[in-house]
Amino acid sequence: MFEIDVTCTGPGCEEEFQVWVEDLGGLDTVVCDACGHSVVTLSVAAYEPELPVRIVRARELAAVR
């Protein structure tokens, strides 16, 4: 999974937002929601969550403390 910061290329549009895609080819279809122009990539970061994730209930956590 990639977290990508993009900015709009539209004249006068200053939209900047994040896009999350499984592969970088998915970025080709991204357009600005505000004006419909294409976007330019500002930065790319890979995101890989640690698995397995253990969810602890607040009651269990309080008992440990």
Q: What is the pLDDT of residues 28-55, one digit of tens each?
A: 889 999 999 999 999 999 977 676 656 6
The least confident of 7-11, 18-22, 35-39 is 18-22
Domain ranges of the chain: 2-64
Rounded Cα distance between 47 and 3, Å, is: 7
Rounded Cα distance between 19 and 17, Å, is: 7
Tell if the pTM clears 0.85, that is, is over it. Answer: no
Short-list 46, 35, 1, CA closest to 17: 35
Ramachandran bin of 12, using left for φ above 0, alpha for ψ from -120 to 50, beta for the remaining angles: left
Amino acid present at 37: H
